[in-house]
């Protein structure tokens, strides 16, 4: 490592810039659901706190692991501002110091099951978020076509979702979300319904596109190798009540998913994380 030269005069203390503020600051978020009929209460999230710093031009990839019912979707939907998980019963999520008040185009969501409009073409589906943002027709069609190309679906612009395979549909969902250039991307088990090979392809595609958009990604998965491959940090959650137990820092992928996930070093990390996750079940 090279040693940096010290400046002769210390730089003036700069006023806090937007880049200095955390992208997401989740402060003591608790979510209690109350069953109207029985009156019973259930704590889906308890006192969840973490900070995602703004790393300019890079972003951060957070993967979330934990047993079923530990509040992974509740946490994602709280950041997305989606009811009934939002608003939290206690605590607050700040984005760049502003409390999240509901859904917004700066936070894009990708769900497990394909959620596009069946009677819209692929081009119309990918352009949909841009239309909501008020982007003029020609411009949004150009941007949508560019993203369709980036997710390697050129030629499918005029097709309908039913004409595509599950993997291709998730590529459309990815293109639609990324086309709007959200600062935060929330993905709830996006590749959960795909076979292993298609999943690896999607992981590679996601890493490729993510380096281009430099967003903060939160991705929920049940697949420990997927969490280890994609994550800069893995959040390990526990259930009853849902809470954040541990954050593990990981290296960035250096190879394609299929190659990297076969290496001994990778398996070692997966085993280590598996032991932690199994321990909390």
Out of 63, 73, 221, 261, the residue judged to bind ligand ADP by CB under 6 A: 73
- Binding segment (CB under 6 A) for ligand ADP, from list 69-77, 126-134, 176-184, 268-276: 69-77
Cβ atoms 67, 222 nearer than 8 A: no
Per CB under 6 A, 33 contacts ligand ADP: yes
* Residue 243 binding ligand ADP, by CB under 6 A: no
Rounded to the nearest whole angstrom, what is the least distance from the CB of residue 87 to ligand ADP in the complex?
A: 13
**Number of C-alpha atoms within 13 angstroms, CB side, residue 215?**
25
113 binds ligand ADP (CB under 6 A): no
Q: Does 71 bind ligand ADP (CB under 6 A)?
A: yes
Question: Min. distance of Cβ 74 from ligand ADP in angstroms?
Answer: 3
Q: Whose Cβ is closer to Mg ion: residue 123's or residue 220's?
A: 220
Residue 44 binding target from Mg ion, ligand ADP, none, CB below 5 to 8 Å by type? ligand ADP
Q: Is 117 in the site for ligand ADP (CB under 6 A)?
A: no
Burial class (CB in 10 A: 0-12, 13-18, 19+), 36: exposed
Name residues contacting Mg ion, limited to 72-131 (CB under 5 A): 72-73
Q: Taking the complex as a whole, how short is the minimal distance between the CB of residue 69 and Mg ion, in angstroms?
A: 8
Q: What is the rounded distance in angstroms from the CA atom of residue 3 to the CA atom of residue 214?
A: 28
Torsion sign (Cα): 21, 23, 26, 31: positive
Please say which residue, 84 or 134, places its beta carbon nearer to Mg ion: 84
In the beta sheet, which residues pair with residue 43?
A: 32
Per-residue binder mask for Mg ion (CB under 5 A), 26-65, x = binder: ----------------------------------------
Q: Which is nearer to ligand ADP, 84 or 134 (CB)?
A: 84
Distance of CA 279 to the CA centre of its chain: 25
Distance CA 269, CA 198 (A): 23
CA-nearest of 240, 242, 237, 236 to 272 is 236
The residues, ordered by sequence, that sit 6+ positions from 174 with a Cβ below 8 Å of its Cβ are 110, 151, 190, 202, 205, 206, 209
Q: Which residues are near ligand ADP by CB under 6 A?
A: 33, 42, 44, 66, 68-74, 84, 242
């Amino acid at each position: 490592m090279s040693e940096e030269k010290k400046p002769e005069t210390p730089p003036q203390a700069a006023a806090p810039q937007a880049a200095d503020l955390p992208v997401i600051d989740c402060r003591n978020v608790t979510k209690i659901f109350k069953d109207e009929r029985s009156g019973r209460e259930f704590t889906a999230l308890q006192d969840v706190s973490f900070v995602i710093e703004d790393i300019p031009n890079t972003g951060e990839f957070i993967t979330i692991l934990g047993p079923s019912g530990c509040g992974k979707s509740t946490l994602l939907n709280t950041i997305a501002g989606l009811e009934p998980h939002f608003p939290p019963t206690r605590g607050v999520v700040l984005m760049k110091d502003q409390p999240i008040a509901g859904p917004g185009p700066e936070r894009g969501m990708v769900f497990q099951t394909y959620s596009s409009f069946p009677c819209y073409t692929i081009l119309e589906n990918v352009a949909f978020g841009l239309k909501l943002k008020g982007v003029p027709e020609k411009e949004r069609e150009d941007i949508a076509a560019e993203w369709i190309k980036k997710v390697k679906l050129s030629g499918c612009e005029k097709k309908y979702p039913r004409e595509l395979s599950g993997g291709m549909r998730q590529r459309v969902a990815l293109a639609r979300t990324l086309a709007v250039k959200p600062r935060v991307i929330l993905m709830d088990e996006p590749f959960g319904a795909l076979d292993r090979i298609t999943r690896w392809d999607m992981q590679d595609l996601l890493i490729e596109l993510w380096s281009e958009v430099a967003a903060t990604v939160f991705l929920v998965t049940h697949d420990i190798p997927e969490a280890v491959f994609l994550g800069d940090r893995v959040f390990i959650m526990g259930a009853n009540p849902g809470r954040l137990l541990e954050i593990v820092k990981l290296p960035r992928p250096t190879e394609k998913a299929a190659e990297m996930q076969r290496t001994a070093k990778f398996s070692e990390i997966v085993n280590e994380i598996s032991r932690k996750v199994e321990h909390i079940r």
